[in-house]
Amino acid sequence: MERVFVAGHRNPDMDCTCAAYCYAEFKRKMDPERDYVPIRSGPVSDQIREVFRQADVPTPRHMDTIAPTVGLVTRRTSAIVAPEDPILEVFREVNIGTISSLPVIDGDGRFHAMIGINEITSWVVTQNRDDRPVYTFLVDNFERVLPGTTLKRGKVRQFDATIATIAMPPATAVKRLKAMKQPPLVVVGHLPEIIEYVVAEDFPGIVLTGMEEKEARALLKTVFRDYQGTVYLSHTDTAESIRMLRLSTPVFTIMDSDVPRMEAETPFEEAKYTLLESSYRGLPVFEESEFIGIVSRRSFIERPRPKLIMVDHNELSQAVDGADQAELLEIVDHHRLAPPTTRQPIAVTTRVVGSTCTLIYEEFSARGLAIDRVIALLLLSGIVSDTVNLQSPTTTESDRRAILRLEAITGISAAEHARKLFAQLKALESREPRETILSDFKEYEQAGVRFGIGQVEVTTLSDTESYRTRLLEALKDVARDRRIEWTMLMVTDVITGTSILLSSGHPAAEKALPFRSVAERTFDLPGVLSRKKQLLPEVMRVLSDLHAV
């Protein structure tokens, strides 16, 4: 099944995390032929974890990159062999399936090794050494490769032996048999003296050729009555019997158990280099210790492009790493539009609302899809958080209508839910400065200037001085590390509906901002709750004006 990632922006907040989960559920209902996987790029807050705990569903999978991995080119193969299978099965699969290597998997589904052309070639070479080759035989494999019947199963079901063919006078044959280092598996026609010698010396097995079954079975009551070895009647000639007996050798005798293993999340280029620099034709791929398939050299001819739906953002600078290498299928967002160029037309859902979760609620409703309590709780949480319980100036009638309906489904008061969510906000004094800045940080570019704005919610601004200096220093560090010219942090009091702005330092731009400076690189933003609608437009206007001069 084709996989599609549904991803929110980096440094996930409540809206994008809930939106990713809910939109993946929506797409599964609309398009069951694909596997829609919600993901997040970064850690989530205690608030988000609590909401998903209440919903009793896992948070979206944490993926810091969706750059192509070996899992995208892994071939889910039905061609497998078991350790006990005769190597003839490998020959058949390689010949019929035109494949170069096979996984060896037992009856319990456990992966053991790989086997393919390299191992077959090495095995064939060993057949032509000066020494007589020794084979491992499984009695159960005789009937799988050699036309015939097992007349008697010996006490030993597996044994190592050479193959001895008797086509000479009995006296000479016995002399040669006595000279062998270990008892062989004997292939013989109706030669009573040789058969009696094999029985007397308790050889591990005998394969009869050129005999009628009735005649051979008669020997079971006489010569073979007390014999402890295996008696097999071949229905083909001696030469063919010998050839097929060799091919009954079990796979585990020549399989490669030391083959390197790849994880599905191994980067595409790394996996390609690993295979091409090795002597292997194919390598096994695993996902959380479970075998999922194999990759061969042909797997890396064309670079794959993961499929992606962006929710709550539309700019690559805010997207999960690797988004630039993905095939973008869709955008669902309520921010300004600055999307990447695409090769094909894509679906874009965008309206002026206060939350992406509102858009997703409307998508469910427009198509008449039922919204269960889990989805309703997540959508309600995203809208309440992004609109600051409908107090943000970004709030629209669409958000209010959505809230009313979601309250009815969940039986939860939005106001009470918001109060509980905001009560979980940690005091900034106790948080690590860099984590605070990057927890909800978005990057932009205007008039050739790259800048970033983080936003954090608190329940009071009265303790600002206890953390302001540390945050100002951390803003400089973030700007340097991310190689952007200007970083800011908007600290929003969700109770009073006001904010302060901390800046890394951009004197010309700061001077032009329409906000009152209350301390070094610190500004008062009364009534400002929305980064998108109230702060970002002012910053972009200032940068445009500065570069227009």
Per-block average pLDDT, block size 10, for the chain (549 residues)? 93 95 97 96 90 96 91 84 93 76 89 88 79 91 95 93 88 88 92 91 94 91 92 94 94 91 91 89 88 89 93 94 94 93 93 97 96 97 94 94 97 92 78 90 92 92 89 95 95 91 95 94 94 93 87
Whole-number Å distance between alpha carbons of 545 and 387 = 30
* Neighbour count for residue 187 (Cβ, 10 Å): 22
pLDDT score, position 117: 84
pLDDT score, position 229: 94
Parallel, antiparallel, or unpaired: how do β-strands 347-350 and 441-446 relate? Answer: unpaired
Residue with tokens 């070639």: 121
Residue 139: which H helix or E strand, with range? helix 139-145
Whole-number Å distance between alpha carbons of 19 and 212 = 76
Q: Where are the alpha helices (DSSP H) in 187-233?
A: 192-200, 213-220
Whole-number Å distance between alpha carbons of 15 and 380 = 9
Whole-number Å distance between alpha carbons of 61 and 48 = 13
pLDDT score, position 549: 62
3-class DSSP state of 3 = strand
List beta partners, residue 523.
501, 517
Can you list the domains of the chain with their CATH numbers?
Answer: 2-68+305-423 (3.90.1640.10), 73-130+255-301 (3.10.580.10), 147-247 (3.40.1390.20), 428-548 (3.10.310.20)
Edge-to-edge order in the sheet of strand 290-296: 262-263, 282-287, 290-296
Inter-residue contact 61 to 38 (CB < 8 Å): yes
Inter-residue contact 334 to 379 (CB < 8 Å): no
Inter-residue contact 316 to 341 (CB < 8 Å): no
pLDDT score, position 99: 73
**Residue 187 CA from chain centroid, whole number:** 52
Whole-number Å distance between alpha carbons of 299 and 262 = 14
pLDDT score, position 97: 62
Residue 482 tokens read as 């991310």
End-to-end CA distance of the chain: 55
pLDDT score, position 100: 78
Please report the sign of the dihedral spanned by the C-alpha atoms of residue 265, residue 270, residue 272, residue 274: negative
Residues 6+ apart with CB under 8 A from 304: 68, 72, 73, 268
pLDDT score, position 14: 95
Burial class (CB in 10 A: 0-12, 13-18, 19+), 107: exposed
List beta partners, residue 294.
75, 284
